[in-house]
Amino acid sequence: MAKGFFITGTDTGVGKTVITAALIRAIGLLGLRACGMKPIETGCIRAKSKVKNRVLIPSDGMFLRELTDMDDPIDLVTPVRFENPLAPMVASNIEGIPVDIDKIKRAFEELSKGYDIIVVEGIGGLLVPIKRDYFVLDLVRDFGLPIIVVSRPGLGTINHTMLTVNYAIKEGLEVAGIIINYSRPPEGTLAEDTNPEIIRQISPV
């Protein structure tokens, strides 16, 4: 079974990509070979080309691949891509392209063979729908990886973080840790100053 982590968030835009890349770099400093994977990316940009079906460029997947010096093809790093910046199930319905879960699993297995550790960046949070009956939570289960929850520092994050962590544990997932990510400049609020310690005190992780 592959060794690694699955990076999920309490919301979209909490900085999962940067955390994923930083974790890969940190693991590399320990002398281990680590790679990143963004199995599904929406909001991709179409490459400039005269070809009718232009290739979709996954910006997060490319960032992970380039920043961590991976030479694996982008189709392994981000095997499923959509143009519309929506939940995968919604983007899939609009674009008329089904989400190929088997393709994702094959890419995961192939990447895992060449590295000691694989760090997977999810899309949104655990209950983002990939298909009607398949959520990010199910992808975590299929990969068999412990999760790291990335959250915001500001007001409201205690509830969002605790909901994510407790639901994950209830569903039988292993929660390896919580990262409160200051992805934006601190506002200097009392909530930002006190939330990390409160979460540390009340979290079961």
- Give the C-alpha distances (Å, rounded to integers) separating 193 from 157, 182, 183, 190, 198: 12, 11, 15, 5, 10
Q: Is the distance from CB of 136 to CB of 148 less than 8 angstroms?
A: no
Adjacent-strand bridge partners of 134: 131
For tokens 């297995």, what's the residue? Answer: 109
- Of 3, 38, 103, 113, which residue is the catalytic one? 38
- What is the model's pLDDT at position 54? 62
Among candidate residues 171, 102, 106, the one with its CA nearest the CA of residue 130: 102
Q: Which two tokens stand for residue 153?
A: 């520092």
Decide yes or no: CATH 3.40.1190.20 for domain 4-202. Answer: no
Mean pLDDT by 10 residues, the chain (205 residues): 92 92 94 96 84 78 90 96 97 97 98 95 97 98 98 94 98 98 80 94 95
**Contact assessment for residue 37 and residue 152, using Cβ atoms and an 8 Å cutoff:** no
Q: Which amino acid is at 69?
A: D
The letter for the amino acid at 188 is G
Q: Which residues pair with 21 in a beta bridge?
A: none
Q: Which residue is it, tokens 């991976």? A: 70
38 is annotated as an active-site residue: yes
Q: Are 21 and 134 in contact (CB under 8 A)?
A: no
76 vs 37: CA distance, rounded Å: 8
For residue 187, what pLDDT is reported?
A: 74
Q: Which two tokens stand for residue 99?
A: 């989400």
- What's phi and psi for 149, nearest 5 deg? -95, 125
Q: Where are the beta strands (DSSP E) in 12-111?
A: 34-37, 40-41, 45-46, 56-57, 80-81
Strand segments, DSSP code E, in the chain are 4-9, 34-37, 40-41, 45-46, 56-57, 80-81, 117-121, 129-131, 134-135, 147-151, 175-180
Tokens of 49: 């080309």
